[in-house]
Amino acid sequence: MDKTMTSRRSALARLGALAGTLGLSGCAQVLGSASDSGTDLPPNPHADSLPDQQFAQNAHLPTDEAGNDLQAHYRRLIFLTLDGAPSDDAERTVERGMRTIEAAYDWRPDGLFHVLAWGTDYFKRLGKLSAAPISEPRVISRTDDPDLLEFDALLILESDMPSRLTAVENAMFGSADTLGGEPVEDPLGDVFSIAEVRTGFLGKGLPAEHANVEGIPVGALSEDDPTFMGFFSDRQGTQASEDRVTIDSGRFAGGTTLHVSHLTQSLGGWWEALDDTERVARMFSPEFDPSDIPDFGADVPFTDAVRDHAEEFDVVGHHEKVAQVRRDGEPIVLRRDFNTTDGDQAGVHFLSFQRTLDHFRATRRAMNGWYVRDDSRSITDRENNGILNFIDVQSRANFYVPRRDRRSFPLY
């Protein structure tokens, strides 16, 4: 805790002592006992049934036959602007609001997963961006000219039940006064306004159901397609573990960093100009044949020979490029991306958690594939270079995700 916290704690302690002397027991209850929540509220009553890391959910997900986690189907990203200066009251309101959400729904896909993350604008307000574990978003590919966005905060909601996402938004930022049967006394809307909402979905059947948008040729998708580009992308071995992306020491221990970008997809050429073999080469690697894909199971058995493939096949795959940044055989980013039709355009909201934003940037540089240009003249910044010919980055933003018991106004 920083010194603002210490001085507030001692002010509260003095008030508590005063309340005790005057026999104001109700007041002592309001003040609560000091906990490490940073809010001086009583301990979170749901803490025992919730992971310390806000983003930890793998242990609560169902798996497919190969053992891969199946993430929740519906997503809502609520980007937030603080309406006033950070204050002790606002800090308590936010923590109470989050506890109401936790009281309303279980931590499981048919309940609700949620994350409250804090953006670069928030740390700038505090004058503490340089002390925070995140930095401003940057342009990191020369094929894109994204909006570099900065927010105060982001509330991520995920559930298999889309009505839950709407219910939380209405209770926290609208007029609903109950949520899942719980009274809503401290809505997040008392502290924040909504800056932007993004939506999306994940899982078999849903891409085809939402395919009637710009960027997807009519009839291109079948019921079986798990994503707009036709491939499942959450094999266990291709994801960093939740522990690997958790900051392991110091004042931010238990937290992580979050990158959020919006990519639009133009898939006319993907579905109409390429055949299955060409799509597999671009998504994974030219070393694979479409018949190999169903056998992948819980990992992608790549040979780590991107430059050789460039020379031999004049095409390189997305997966083989990004997998080069694995450490000790394990990926360094945990992807929680999903498809979207926001703006009536096919796209991906790309969310990734990583211990430091450098890990995201290193991964994205590997994806850019600039290093193969000496190996093949057919591979350009976009052409024959993984999936880069089919995506455009519209915006980027960075966030810090505190540990659950420090999630309200970090560094304040």
- Residue number, 191 or 332, with CB nearest to ligand HEM: 332
Residues 172-231 that bind ligand HEM (CB under 6 A): 227, 229, 231
* Minimum distance from residue 172 beta carbon to ligand HEM (Å): 29
C-beta atoms surrounding 98 within 10 Å: 23
- Residue number, 232 or 271, with CB nearest to ligand HEM: 232
Contact between 215 and 390 (Cβ < 8 Å): no
Of 326, 371, 381, 382, the residue at the interface with ligand HEM (CB under 6 A) is 326
Q: Does 262 bind ligand HEM (CB under 6 A)?
A: no
Q: What angle do CA 68, 72, 78 make, to 5 degrees?
A: 135
Stretch that binds ligand HEM, among 206-214, 271-279, 322-330, 375-383 (CB under 6 A): 322-330
Of 73, 114, 309, 318, the residue at the interface with ligand HEM (CB under 6 A) is 318
Residues 345-384 that bind ligand HEM (CB under 6 A): 348, 350, 363-364, 367
**First vs last Cα of the chain: how many Å apart?**
9
Q: Does 391 bind ligand HEM (CB under 6 A)?
A: yes
Stretch that binds ligand HEM, among 42-50, 57-65, 213-221, 330-338 (CB under 6 A): 330-338
Contact between 227 and 377 (Cβ < 8 Å): no
The CA-atom distances, in angstroms, between 39 and each of 1, 277, 331, 389 are 11, 56, 35, 48
* Minimum distance from residue 159 beta carbon to ligand HEM (Å): 22
Q: Distance between CA atoms of 222 and 216, rounded to whole angstroms?
A: 12
* Minimum distance from residue 366 beta carbon to ligand HEM (Å): 8
- Residue number, 92 or 259, with CB nearest to ligand HEM: 259
C-beta atoms surrounding 390 within 10 Å: 23
Contacts of 201 (CB under 8 A, 6+ apart): 73, 74, 75, 207, 210, 338, 339, 340
Residue 168, strand partner residues: none
Of 39, 54, 159, 238, the residue at the interface with ligand HEM (CB under 6 A) is 238
User: Letter for the amino acid at 162?
Assistant: P
C-beta atoms surrounding 271 within 10 Å: 17
Q: Does 233 bind ligand HEM (CB under 6 A)?
A: yes
Q: Please write down the HEC assignment for all residues of 316-337.
A: ECHHHHHHHHCECCECCCEECC
- Residue number, 81 or 266, with CB nearest to ligand HEM: 266
- Residue number, 235 or 403, with CB nearest to ligand HEM: 235
Residue ranges binding ligand HEM (CB under 6 A): 227, 229, 231-235, 238, 263, 265, 283, 300, 318-319, 322-323, 326, 331, 333, 335, 348, 350, 363-364, 367, 387, 391
